Chains A and B, each alone.
Chain A
Amino acid sequence: MATLRPGSLGTLIGRVGNMVFYELNGKIVGRTIGVVDSYSDAQLGNQMGFGLTTLLLNPVNQFIRAGFKTTPKEPGWNFHSLAFSLNKKNALTGKYPNVEIDFTKVIFSMGGLPLPKNPQVKLAGNCLEFSWEADPETKGNDERDQVMLVAYFPETLQAMTVQSGSPRTSEKHTILLPSFKGKKVIETYIAFISEDRERVSNSVYLGQIIWDNQ
């Protein structure tokens, strides 16, 4: 049984038929309750999207904690809510049952810190070499800004992340890869963060690297 609480328009709390209303993170929410016999394709697609986005963000949790710390959020949201929302809306393609992650559209950080010119990545032996042009004349840049990097392995859903890498002026950072067996696909991203961790840039997709030691 739902109860009506005092308020300008009243607030419904409790169960009415197969709907239940309750307070969650300061908001009154309503949802269906009970056993669901079947889901529509759209619902299954949404569930699959949730699953994929969760798997995508799990290995980069520490990175997005820094990447979305200062990004404006709705009340009650945290860094993960925002990263989840942005990536679920923008980085998924296809319809159920072929929902996939479009790694070119994945975002791992968001902010107003300027990015350097010409960021690149290349495979050199057992290392990923990231490079950029510092561009010190751009307004908002600081020579002590540090690079943040992601090397994402979509096949195993693992990621190597750097949250406080080389300073902007050094114009390069190298990640030593583990000694993989066989072929590996690596998706790469770059972003920058200020020394005081209060400003961050958008993350930029640098491209796909194929590692093959055969």
Chain B
Amino acid sequence: MAIVKKRDVLLGEIKGRIGPVVVTSVRNVKVLKAAPVHKVNKKKKKKAELPPQNLKLALISTFISGAKKLVNIGFNNKKNVNAAFQSAVKYNLAHAITGTKPNFEINYPKIVISQGNREMAWSSRIIAEKKDTVTISWEIPDTVKLREIGNDNAFILCYDVSSQRAVISDNCTSRSALSYTRKLTAGSSGHLIHAYIFFVSPDQKSVSRSDYVGSIVLP
């Protein structure tokens, strides 16, 4: 893979395939890659024939893709060699999969969408008082200095298992607000929702580990 170091007169704003080469950009860096080889006769393998890793990876990648916006903040660590998405997939692949081949499942309480040293959410809860609406609440213990963490921003993920859809609330409220109400997609009645929460400092330099709030079936 070649990297275009500076603006190239020859390449200009070219993007796409030129013969055996593909010009694209990866994380805002323009790169040249060999084009993938098209295998015409390759038979699509059945689910049971795939290696376990493929099945697990598909599960986790699908989940994390929906929460990519949050994961990019939660796993954004300068020390990490891997990008945030890869780090999140790697962690959850190792910790949040249960079952045996070919019936792997996501262990939702074990999913982590953010890693950091900031104070986690305490005693978080999810309730659904109205139709298509969930309220997530949390507490701040007496032992914590409110002036240090009270202005932290809350980031919340509600994952609808039934429709496999992630509803993201980024930067939605402050930690001191102690609760947040989120309207979900209309017609979600009867759907199972898993919720996660983490906090980010106002300067965005420090994040907490994500907390699994719980699950609820919408009325």
Q: Chain A interface (Cβ within 8 Å of chain B)?
A: 58-59, 61, 156-158, 160-162, 175-181
Contact = CB atoms under 8 A, between A and B. Distances in A.
A178 B117 contact: no
17 contacts: A58-B117, A59-B117, A59-B119, A59-B120, A156-B120, A158-B122, A160-B141, A162-B143, A175-B142, A175-B143, A177-B141, A178-B139, A178-B141, A179-B123, A179-B139, A181-B123, A181-B214
B125 interface: yes
Nearest to B121: A158
Tell me what chain A mostly uses at the interface: helix, strand, loop, or mixed: mixed
A158 B120 CA distance: 7
A192 B116 CA distance: 29
Q: Interface size class for chain B?
A: 10 to 19
Interface string B14-56: 0000000000000000000000000000000000000000000
B120 A178 contact: no
A161 B148 CA distance: 15
Nearest to B138: A178
Given A61-B117, A160-B144, A180-B123, 11 more contacts: A59-B119, A158-B120, A158-B122, A162-B143, A175-B142, A175-B143, A178-B123, A178-B139, A178-B141, A179-B123, A181-B125
Contacts of B209: 157
Nearest to A62: B145
Contacts of B119: 59
Contacts of B122: 158, 178
A160 B122 CA distance: 10
B196 to A, nearest CB: 13
Nearest to B123: A178
Nearest to A157: B209
- List the 3 closest pairs (A to B, CB-CB), nearest first: A178-B123, A160-B143, A178-B139
Contacts of B125: 181
A25 B38 CA distance: 52
B17 to A, nearest CB: 32
A161 B144 CA distance: 8
Contacts of B120: 59, 156, 158
A131 to B, nearest CB: 18
Contacts of A157: 209
Choose among B122, B139, B143, B214 the residue with the greatest number of A CB atoms under 10 Å from its CB: B143
Contact of B142 (A156, A176, A180): A176
B120 to A, nearest CB: 6
A179 B120 CA distance: 15
A179 B142 CA distance: 12
Contacts of B139: 178-179
B136 to A, nearest CB: 13
Contacts of A179: 123, 139
A36 B204 CA distance: 34
A61 B123 CA distance: 21
B128 to A, nearest CB: 16
